[in-house]
Amino acid sequence: MASTTSIQYPPNWDPAINGTSYPIWDYFDTGITETSVSTLALISVLGVVYLLNLAIFPFYRHVFNLNQTRDKGTPVFQVLNHSYQIARAMFITQNLAIFIAMLAIFLPAMYHIFQWVAIFLLFYLVAAAEVNHYLLSLLAIQRFILYFNTESEKYLTFSDTTMKRIIKGCYGFVIFHILSEPAVFIKNKYIGFWMYTSVYTTSNLLLIGSAVFYIPIIKNIQKLSHLASAQLHKPQRFVLWQIISIVCVKCIYIPIIVVLGLQYGMFDDANNLIRYTQLIVLCKSIDIFTLPLIIQMTYLGCNRKNLEALLASLNSRSVWRIVLCPCSKPMAPRHFATSHFGTRPFRHQTISAPTISAPAISAPVISAPAPLKNE
C-alpha cells in the first residue's frame, strides 16, 4: 500500500534544497521534474511581485510622507507608520538580497556569511509580517465593538503611546514564539512541529475571523460616521482593504496546504509533518513578499485624496526626482494643490486672482462723481 502512494523524486532531489517545493507540483504532471517547475514558477511569481514593488514604492513613499502630518491625527497612525516601515524594509531587503545573490555568485567563499545575513533579514521580515497581522486583527475587533457599543469609544480609542506599547507587545510575543520553537524542537521534535504549525494556523484563522467582523460594518458603515475615531479621513478603509487583500491571498494557498496534507498523509508521523512544515515556510515566504505590495496598493487606493496625490505625482515635473531620489524631502507637485475638496490645479487659482482684486481697482471710479456735486 505504501508503494502506491510514495512519490518518485527526481534523481538529484535534495530535501534540504527542494523540500519547500514538495509536493505542490506533483499535481501538475507536465513531464518536468518537480524541482524545475517549482523553481520556474516561484521565480516568476517573485519576479512579478518584485517589479511591482519596485515601481510602486517610490510613489507610495512620496504620498505617505505628504500625508504624514495629516495622518498623525488619526487613531491608527501607528499602524499606518508600522505598515510603512514594513514596506520600506521589504523594499530595501529585496534589493539587498539581489545584491547579496550577485556577490555569492562571484564570491562563493563568502557564502556562509551571506547565508547568515539572509537568515537575519528573513527573521525580521517574518516577525514584522506576523505583527502586522495581529495589529490588523486587533483593530478589526476594536471596530466591531465600536459598531455594537458606541459608548465604548472612550475606552477603545488608544493614544499614540498606547499603540506603541501594543506594537512592542506584539513584537515581544512573536519574537518569544520564534525563539522558543528551537528549544521545544530539541526536546520533542513532534511537539515542536505541531507548535509551529498550530500557531501559524491560529494566526491565520484569527485574521480571517477579523475580516468577518467587518461584514456588519460594511453594511452600515454610516453608523460610525459620528464617531471621532471614524471621522478623520476614515482610517478604517485602509485597515479594511488590507485585511480583505491579505485574506484573499491566503485563501489561495491555505486550501492547497490542507488538501495536500490530507492527500499525502502529512499528519500521520513526524517525517511527513516535516514536509508540511516546509510548506508553511513557503507560505510565510509568500506572505513577506506579497504583504508590502498589499500595503502600498491599499494605502494608495483607500481614499480619493491618496489617489489624487498619486496622480498628481505622476503628472508633476518632479516625477523623476521622486523615483531616483528617495532621500529627498516630499514636495507637493508644482501644478497641483490640495484643498479641502480635493486636488485642484494651480492655474484655476491664478486666473481667479485678478477677478477678486478687480473691485479695488474700480474704487477710484466710484468716488469720481463726488466733486461734480460741489460744482
Instruction: State the CATH number of the domain containing residue 232.
Output: 1.20.1070
Whether residue 314 is contained in a domain is answered as: no
State the pLDDT at residue 221.
59
The phi and psi torsions of 266 (rounded to 5 degrees) equal: -75, -5
Distance CA 128, CA 146 (A): 27
State the pLDDT at residue 305.
81
**Secondary structure of 231-246 in the HEC alphabet?**
HCCCCHHHHHHHHHHH
State the pLDDT at residue 220.
66
Amino acid letter, 284: K
State the pLDDT at residue 361.
43
- pLDDT digits over 33-90, tens only? 344 455 576 678 778 888 888 888 888 888 888 888 777 777 677 778 888 888 888 8
What is the CB neighbour count within 10 angstroms for residue 176?
A: 10
According to DSSP H, which parts of the chain are helical? 2-5, 15-18, 34-66, 68-71, 77-106, 111-148, 153-156, 160-187, 189-219, 228-231, 236-263, 270-301, 304-315, 319-324, 346-367, 370-374
Whether residue 324 is contained in a domain is answered as: no
Grid cell 483607500 in the structure block, residue: 302
The residue segments making up the domain with residue 219 are 9-302
DSSP one-letter code for 306: H
DSSP one-letter code for 23: T
State the pLDDT at residue 89.
84
Q: Are residues 64 and 135 in the same domain?
A: yes
Q: Are residues 254 and 342 in the same domain?
A: no
Domain C-terminal end among 302, 321, 355: 302
Domain C-terminal end among 254, 279, 302: 302
Q: Are residues 223 and 358 in the same domain?
A: no
Q: Are residues 126 and 269 in the same domain?
A: yes
Whether residue 113 is contained in a domain is answered as: yes
Q: Half-sphere exposure of 134 toward its Cβ, with a 13 Å CA cutoff? A: 19
Q: Are 245 and 298 in contact (CB under 8 A)?
A: yes
State the pLDDT at residue 127.
87
DSSP string, 114-145: HHHHHHHHHHHHHHHHHHHHHHHHHHHHHHHH
State the pLDDT at residue 363.
43
Residue 4 makes CB contacts below 8 A (sequence gap 6+) with none
Q: Are residues 132 and 177 in the same domain?
A: yes
Number of domains in the chain: 2
| Cis check: omega of the bond before 292, within 30 degrees of 0 | no
Q: Are residues 283 and 360 in the same domain?
A: no
Q: Are residues 169 and 222 in the same domain?
A: yes
State the pLDDT at residue 172.
92
Distance CA 277, CA 340 (A): 52
State the pLDDT at residue 345.
40
Give pLDDT < 50 ranges for the chain: 1-36, 229-233, 333-375
Q: Are residues 249 and 353 in the same domain?
A: no
Domain C-terminal end among 280, 302, 324: 302
Least Cα distance to 75 among 128, 176, 6, 146 occurs for 146
- pLDDT digits over 160-198, tens only? 788 888 888 989 999 988 888 888 878 887 787 788 878
